[in-house]
Each structure stands twice: as structure tokens, then as C-alpha cells.
């Protein structure tokens, strides 16, 4: 299995632009998680899905952030409009039984908003 | 304020030395995980501890879960340059709700 695949690996954009991050979970995994990592705040859970349904989005910072999972093999995290404080590494992770089980992380998307 | 406080934040040691890093909280967790993250990659799970007082060993790494399930430690014996990385602890608050500490950044010099 190729593991969790995220794209793009790096994204540089200007403030106010829309940013879309993509994730393909491991086949057969029914939980998908989006995390954001910064030096100041560490790794923060933004939202997670079970069987394509959002279960908890309380970590989404504000309305500028939205996430979708249209099918079992694809999820997006969108920021519109983006701001410099959104600069971070965004990770997608998946597993089979929720967070108490091993999380398989992608390699992340390094986002820089200028 | 982090729910999980990890210490030290940075640690730089020589190859062959022993070290211990800590993960502390005022909250009780149903389980706690330790991950290692290398630059440019996502975290990789090292171990999961579930029972208060539990000790798990993974080669030169020893993990302990506190009796009250609020804290944990990771001890590395005879550290090697390959142990270099960011060590993260993560506690399960509830199903699907895994909270991470900010991590301990370890550098082992040859």
C-alpha cells in the first residue's frame, strides 16, 4: 500500500487566495483526520471523518476553513480566504478504528501564506 | 496552554548517553501514544499504552504510563544518531479525539 497520500507537498500563496489541500487515505481505512502542526501550538486536530461523515469539527479554527470527504478515497481541506497565520504543515491521517488505534500519517502539506 | 506538556522541549546529547523525556497532563487519558517524527515526514507510531503503570519496551526504548494515566515517560538507553527526531506524545480524550503535545526535539550527536 502506498500509505496516506497528500498533495501538494508545498503550497505558497498570497493572502486572500483560496487554498485546497488534498488527501487520499489508505484503502480500507474508515477514519480520516486532518491535523495542523506549528512550532507554537504543536499538532492540532482540526476535523475527523468516519465513513465519510464529519464527526467532530470543533478544531476547525473559523469559518474560513472547510473540509469535505465526498467518498472513501478522497478528502479536501479548503481555506478561503487564506491568511498569513494559516501558514503551517497540514497533515492527513487515517486508520480503521478511530484515534485509539495507530494513526497513519501522510507526509504533510507545507503551506506558506504571504 | 497545551493539554499535554512535554519536556524538555529540546535535548541535544552525545551518542551512547541515556535520556528520559516526559509527557504530563492534569487530564486522565484512556490511552496514550508515542510517535517519532522526522523532518519532512508525518509522525510514526512507536507504542500505545493503555493500563495505568504499564511499561513497554521497544529495543532500547522504554515507555511508562503513569499509575493515574495522566502522564508518561520515554527512556532511551545508549542513544544513537538514528534516534534523532521529534518525539510526540498523544492522549486519547474520547473516541477519535487524540490530543498531541508539542514534542521533544532530540538530537543525538555522533
Closest partner residue to A43 among B31, B45, B100, by Cβ?
B100
Closest partner residue to A31 among B40, B41, B96, by Cβ?
B96
Question: What CA–CA distance (Å, rounded) separates B45 from B23?
Answer: 16
Backbone angles phi, psi at A31, to 5 degrees: -115, 135
Contact A91, B42 (CB under 8 A): yes
Per residue in A34-60, pLDDT (tens digit) is 999 998 888 999 999 999 999 989 899
Residue B42 and residue A106: Cβ atoms within 8 Å? yes
**Bridge partners, residue B73, by sequence:** B22, B64
**pLDDT score, position B30:** 87
By the CB < 8 Å criterion, does A38 face chain B?
Answer: no
3-state secondary structure of A101: coil
Question: Quick one: how far is CA B56 from the chain centroid?
Answer: 12
**pLDDT score, position A113:** 97
CA-based end-to-end distance of chain B = 35
What are the C-alpha distances in Å from B45 to residues B59, B83, B92, B93?
A: 15, 14, 14, 18
Q: State the smallest CA–CA distance between residue B100 and chain A in angstroms.
A: 6
3-state secondary structure of B82: helix
Per residue in A64-114, pLDDT (tens digit) is 999 999 999 999 999 999 999 999 999 999 998 776 678 999 999 999 999
Mean pLDDT of B20-42: 93
Closest partner residue to B102 among A35, A42, A50, by Cβ?
A42
Per residue in B57-82, pLDDT (tens digit) is 999 999 999 999 999 999 999 999 99
Cis peptide before B15 (omega within 30 of 0): no
**Bridge partners, residue B55, by sequence:** B64
Which residues in chain A are closer than 8 Å to B95, comparing Cβ atoms? 98-100
Closest chain A residue by Cα to residue B30: A100
By the CB < 8 Å criterion, does A8 face chain B?
Answer: no
CA-based end-to-end distance of chain A = 36
Residue B42 and residue A31: Cβ atoms within 8 Å? no
Which residues in chain A are closer than 8 Å to B31, comparing Cβ atoms? 100
Closest partner residue to B98 among A39, A41, A103, by Cβ?
A103
Amino acid at each position: 500500500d502506498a500509505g496516506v497520500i497528500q498533495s501538494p507537498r508545498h503550497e505558497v500563496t498570497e493572502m486572500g487566495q483560496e487554498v485546497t489541500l488534498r488527501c487520499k487515505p489508505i484503502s480500507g481505512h474508515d477514519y480520516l483526520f486532518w491535523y495542523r502542526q506549528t512550532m507554537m501550538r504543536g499538532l492540532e486536530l482540526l476535523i475527523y471523518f468516519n465513513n465519510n461523515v464529519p464527526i467532530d469539527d470543533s478544531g476547525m479554527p473559523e469559518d474560513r476553513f472547510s473540509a469535505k470527504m465526498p467518498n472513501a478515497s478522497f478528502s479536501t481541506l479548503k481555506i478561503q480566504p487564506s491568511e498569513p497565520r494559516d501558514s503551517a504543515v497540514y497533515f492527513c491521517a487515517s486508520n480503521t478504528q478511530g484515534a485509539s488505534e495507530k494513526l497513519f500519517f501522510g507526509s504533510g502539506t507545507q503551506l506558506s501564506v504571504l | 496552554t497545551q493539554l499535554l506538556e512535554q519536556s524538555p522541549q529540546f535535548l541535544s546529547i552525545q551518542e551512547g548517553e541515556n535520556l528520559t523525556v516526559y509527557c504530563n497532563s492534569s487530564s486522565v487519558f484512556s490511552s496514550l501514544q508515542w510517535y517519532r517524527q522526522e523532518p519532512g515526514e508525518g509522525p510514526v507510531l512507536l507504542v500505545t499504552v493503555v493500563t495505568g503503570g504499564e511499561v513497554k519496551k521497544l529495543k532500547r526504548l522504554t515507555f511508562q504510563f503513569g499509575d493515574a494515566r495522566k502522564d508518561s515517560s520515554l527512556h532511551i538507553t545508549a542513544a544513537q544518531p538514528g534516534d534523532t527526531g521529534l518525539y510526540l506524545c498523544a492522549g486519547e480524550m474520547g473516541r477519535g479525539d487524540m490530543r498531541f503535545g508539542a514534542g521533544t526535539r532530540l538530537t543525538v550527536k555522533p
